[in-house]
Amino acid sequence: MAEAILDALGQVLTRWTMGGSAAPAAPAEWRDKLGDDASEAELRLLALSGQFLGALAVIEPAGDVRIRPDIAALPRPPLPDTLRPRARRLLEQLREPTQRRHLLDFLDARGWTLHPSDWMPGPDEEVPEVYAAWQDWAVAETSGPAREALTTESWDGLRPAARLAAFTALRRRDPMQAGALLAEKISGETADIRVRLLEGLAIGLSDADRPLLEGLATDRAPRVKALATSLLARLGHDASGSEDTAELAGFFPVQTKGLLRRTRSIAPVVLKTPAQSNRRTALMEAVSFGAFAQALELPPADLVAAWPWGGDRLADHALAAMAARSGSDAIVDAVAEALTNGASVDPYSLAPLLPRLTSVQRRQTAVQVLRAKDGTFVQALAIAGGDGGIAEAMQTGAGGTLVSALKAEDVKPTDQSAELLALGLLASRPAAEQALEQLAAAGLIVSDPRLDMLRLNAALEHRSEFEGATT
Amino acid sequence: MAIDLKAVEQLAADQTSLKAAAGLAKPSRWSGVGASHDAALVWGECAGSGANPYRVMADLRDMGNKCTCPSRKFPCKHVLALFWLHAEAIVPFPAAETPAWVSEWLGRRRSGGTSPKPAVAVEKDVQAARLAEPEPVEDAAAVARRQAATAKRAEDTERAILDALDALEQWVSDQLRLGLAGFVDEVTIRCRRIGARLVDGKAAALAGHVDELPGRLLALPTGDRVRGATVELARLVLLARAFRADPRDPEVRRAVASAESREMLLGDTTNVPRITAAWEVLAEQVRTRRDGLVSQTTWLLNLSETGPRFAMLLDFFPASVGRRGSAFTPGEQFRGEFVFYPARMPLRAVLVQREAARADGPLLDWPVPATPLDEALTTPLLAEPWATERPLLLPSGRIGFDRSGASWWLPGDGAIMLPIAGEAAGLIAGVELTRTAALWSGNRLAMLAAYTPWGRVGHG
């Protein structure tokens, strides 16, 4: 009977859509309820139809309805329930992608993940590898198993994020095999993926990778080409034009001082016009480190030693960027050392080197920043990210400055929130507890929202110690 | 850190505030009272004139304060009452973990100068505020006159409403005659006209319902709007006729004219269900309406065996009041007493009093839905035919997606698939939903909260 009514209502609705009376088309079951008066009949039919359609009928889906697979449990557990509200508040505050990444890295370093109800990564978001399974789930209809060994056969079966994570892991374990696998499979990938895979190849780079890189140095995609070229340069095989290098060398004459020691130092030519400055910058972006050193007739390490660090910030930054693109690991270390040696640190010039520094190096550099004059936790955060392992945070100059600032007469309830957040992301667990004690003594109440990150830090156990993970 | 009554007197804007605060500084009006471990912050929840309680908080170091009530007075009477409670130790302020809603307020505070001093020295006296005013004595004739005037007003209102409902039915007939295709195209303008007529006719609640009709209709997919219009217009006819049949029926009157006040509801001891039970806060919805009011709805689940399965608290306040804090935290469970507005299937309620939210101990499980699904979907809507949505508890199920990407709720066993309003994304799309609480509009499901193997998930 219900079917018959529903069918009849199709007619009724059609008539009302156009306008006009529908009572003549009413379902047979209802005809005698409508009465004799025409307009009354319409209203009664409306009441019955509306209630039938509104309360007793459900739409059916056209075609299949498919469920998604379960969201996988990640290799690391979610935060304990008691800490989730605080984490949610921090996620609210940290909307900007870099800041959010620091929080994710912090949790990852301690061995935890976020709960999927509080946050899940977008498909293209840069997130720690541990979330690979969730990224793939968000994109795909089906997702493969969370962890699978990467081989020629299994390559295509893995979804992109999982595959990238597996490749990076393989490269760390067995660089030769990873290199061979990549040589076989890379041409089948899109340009974006090729770049990401090539970035993974940078780990444990060696001359064995040279043939593959020389092939990719002629790739169609400009970013792949540029990255392959710079990786080759890091290995010492570069193709900078000799005219360019000679011209660049002209900007940086080498002098020899002293009769006995014969120390080399570089005295940059003073730039007179904007055109000159632009030209020099362009050259520094094009020429590789090895070629530059050769043109100056200096071994690369000596170039670093002879450079007048701190004299010309633009030049410092450009040289650091050059080292990051095309210098060997040893050169990168030497430049980082040179930039953090002095009494004050140059975060601007350090920035290009950061992707090539290990997390241990970044932490050490961050500590030096904190010790330097005017060093701040915010600067250190830009260098080390959500490290969560700096034990001496409060013993540094930056620590002392922060506490003093909070004790000041005219301090406002929202002052220093960026510094406190950065400190919370950088400090080790004991250092965070120490900081909370000192800040309480400086007058901050326990429930001050600026202390959210420090409190999360102090409450969060270091799970990674049980995993034996090294960073 | 302690404050004394003198400070309360100075803080108050005028004697009226003090008097009102005196009336509120009683233990029965307050729940969830606490202080931070360092005694700098105090907070509590106060039963106001609305359905939802107000959250009140203060920083004793500088007398900074905030309340979620819509009052424009600063400080409001609830804040003064909180200070009063503290100054005279009328209730204990146990030391506790600072609730999130207090921390968030702290984070948003501007520096200093939060309490403006009154420009003119106003005569204020705490002791005078304490004295209850004597009831004015009325003679029998005055009482009779007053009652007759009230009855006359009620009669006039009823007549005005009936006339407005006649106009409404005429308007509905016109829409059918002109065609529903045109109605859908011009729904906003046409509803505004009849809405104004309903306001003139004192059918305020129904006017509000009609005001929101265009929003509900246009939220449907284009192909579904004629059916949607039929359902909406039918509801208006059903309600108009129900009113004509019995204008004194409280449920119908509430849907057409206006709801009973909190005082009236609490004063009626015969007709009105009072339930004390364990409850869980499902979700809170804040919606801005076309008429400039903001509605705040809190949905609660009854975790015990007796009484209505759900309670709905509903308050309105002007949009000009600005952003208000919520009254509850979704997921919190507490024992509390609710009084329900009389209805065939009671749902709307006011909170009389509650115990503090349970901080420790395992959470109570959600009950197993007792009625079969098809009955649960239809019975409440048949009992209250003009309702736009009713809450229900779903058994185990999962979210699925059709060819076009629209989401559906699929039962673990059983055939009925329910379309979901809006998008179902994130965790709920990739996990078994052991139990789901949702609003059913007769047509689409709006999820409120669910239990999953990953724990409780709120929605929206």
The verdict on A262 and A216 lying in the same domain is no
Identify the weakest region by mean pLDDT among A4-13, A339-348, A448-457, B408-417. Answer: A339-348
Q: Does any domain span residue B134?
A: no
Q: Spell out which residues of chain A touch residue B237, defining contact as CB-CB under 8 Å.
A: 43, 46-47, 50
Q: Does any domain span residue A255?
A: yes
Q: Kindly report the average pLDDT of chain B as a whole number.
A: 88
Q: Does any domain span residue B204?
A: yes
Give the pLDDT band (50/70/90) at residue B114.
very low
Interface of A with B in 419-458 (CB under 8 A): 445-450
Can you list the pairs that B54-61 forms with residues at least 24 positions away whose Cβ atoms lie under 8 Å?
B54/B78, B54/B327, B55/B101, B55/B325, B55/B326, B55/B327, B56/B81, B56/B82, B57/B82, B57/B101, B57/B102, B57/B105, B58/B82, B58/B83, B59/B106, B59/B109, B60/B1, B60/B2, B60/B3, B60/B86, B61/B1
Question: Which residue, of A205, A234, A263, is where some domain finishes?
Answer: A234
3-state per-residue secondary structure call for A261-323: CCEEEECCCCCCCHHHHHHHHHHHHHCCHHHHHHHCCCCHHHHHHHCCCCCCHHHHHHHHHHH
The verdict on B88 and B11 lying in the same domain is yes
CA nearest B255: which of B134, B342, B354?
Answer: B342
Tokens matching residue B374: 């098809």
- Residue of B62, B386, B427 for testing the chain A interface, max A β-carbons within 10 Å: B427
- Mean pLDDT, residues B168-194: 96
Q: How far apart are the first and last CA of chain B?
A: 40
Question: Which residue, of A234, A262, A281, is where some domain finishes?
Answer: A234
The verdict on A184 and A230 lying in the same domain is yes
d(CA A425, CA A31): 74
The verdict on A230 and A248 lying in the same domain is no
d(CA B100, CA A88): 11
The H-assigned helical ranges of A21-122 are 38-51, 84-93, 97-110
Interface of A with B in 275-334 (CB under 8 A): none
The verdict on B9 and B105 lying in the same domain is yes
Question: Which residue, of B118, B135, B159, is where some domain finishes?
Answer: B118
Higher-scoring residue by pLDDT: A259, B396 = B396
Task: Let me know if B271 is exposed, middle or buried by CB neighbors in 10 A (0-12, 13-18, 19+).
Answer: exposed
Higher-scoring residue by pLDDT: B296, A238 = B296
Helix (H, G, I), strand (E, B) or coil at B189: helix
* B413: phi then psi, degrees, rounded to nearest 5: -135, 145
Q: Does any domain span residue B393?
A: yes
Rg (CA), chain A: 32
d(CA A41, CA B326): 47
Asked if A69's CB is within 8 angstroms of B399's CB, the reply is no
Asked if B233's CB is within 8 angstroms of A20's CB, the reply is no
Task: Locate the chain A residue with the closest alpha carbon to B458.
Answer: A117
pLDDT at A142: 46
Say if A258 is an interface residue toward chain B (CB within 8 Å): no
Q: How far is A121 from chain B (nearest CA, A)?
A: 9
Identify the weakest region by mean pLDDT among A75-89, A207-221, B133-147, B307-321. Answer: B133-147
Say if A68 is an interface residue toward chain B (CB within 8 Å): yes
- Mean pLDDT, residues B378-400: 94
Q: Does any domain span residue A68?
A: no
Higher-scoring residue by pLDDT: A124, B102 = B102
Asked if A46's CB is within 8 angstroms of B234's CB, the reply is yes
Helix (H, G, I), strand (E, B) or coil at A213: helix
d(CA A186, CA A200): 12
Q: Spell out which residues of chain A touch residue B399, defining contact as CB-CB under 8 Å.
A: 67-68
Amino acid letter, A255: Q
Higher-scoring residue by pLDDT: A249, B360 = A249
Asked if B100's CB is within 8 angstroms of A49's CB, the reply is no
Q: How many domains does chain B have?
A: 4
The verdict on A192 and A217 lying in the same domain is yes
The verdict on A294 and A328 lying in the same domain is yes
- Mean pLDDT, residues A389-414: 89
Rounded to the nearest 10 degrees, how much is the dihedral formed by the CA atoms of A435, A436, A438, A444?
A: 130
pLDDT at A239: 65
The verdict on B302 and B379 lying in the same domain is no
pLDDT at B237: 97
Q: Does any domain span residue A115?
A: no
Residue pLDDT, tens place only, B432-445: 999 999 999 999 99
pLDDT at B126: 72
Complex confidence, ipTM: 0.85
Give the pLDDT band (50/70/90) at residue B303.
very high
In the 8-state DSSP scheme, what is residue A25? G
Indicate if the pLDDT at residue B116 is higher than 80. no
Tokens matching residue A132: 């690979």
Asked if A60's CB is within 8 angstroms of B238's CB, the reply is no
- Residue of A5, A40, A56, A65 for testing the chain B interface, max B β-carbons within 10 Å: A65
Residue pLDDT, tens place only, A406-420: 988 888 878 899 999
The verdict on B304 and B325 lying in the same domain is yes
Host domain of residue B29: 5-118
Host domain of residue A43: 2-56
Asked if A13's CB is within 8 angstroms of B399's CB, the reply is no
Asked if B234's CB is within 8 angstroms of A55's CB, the reply is no
If you average pLDDT over each of A295-299, B126-130, B167-171, B284-288, which comes out highest? B167-171
Q: Does any domain span residue B58?
A: yes
The verdict on B89 and B181 lying in the same domain is no
Tokens matching residue A177: 């095999």
Q: Kindly report the average pLDDT of chain A as a whole number.
A: 87
Residue among B41, B234, B432 minimizing CB distance to A49: B234
Q: Does any domain span residue B438?
A: yes
Q: How many domains does chain A have?
A: 3
Q: Does any domain span residue A466?
A: no
Residue pLDDT, tens place only, B244-258: 999 999 999 999 999
CA nearest B101: which of B266, B327, B271?
Answer: B327
Task: Return the exposure string of A143-162: e unless at least 16 CB atoms fall within 10 Å of the residue's CB, then b.
Answer: bbebeeebeeeebeebbbbb
Per cent of chain A over pLDDT 90 is 38
Q: How many CB atoms lie within 10 A of CB B85?
A: 26
pLDDT at A470: 46
Amino acid letter, A195: V
The verdict on B321 and B380 lying in the same domain is no
- Does residue A17 contact residue B181 with C-beta atoms inside 8 Å? yes
Residue among A17, A56, A120 minimizing CB distance to B226: A17
Task: Locate the chain A residue with the closest alpha carbon to B169.
Answer: A43
Asked if B454's CB is within 8 angstroms of A69's CB, the reply is no
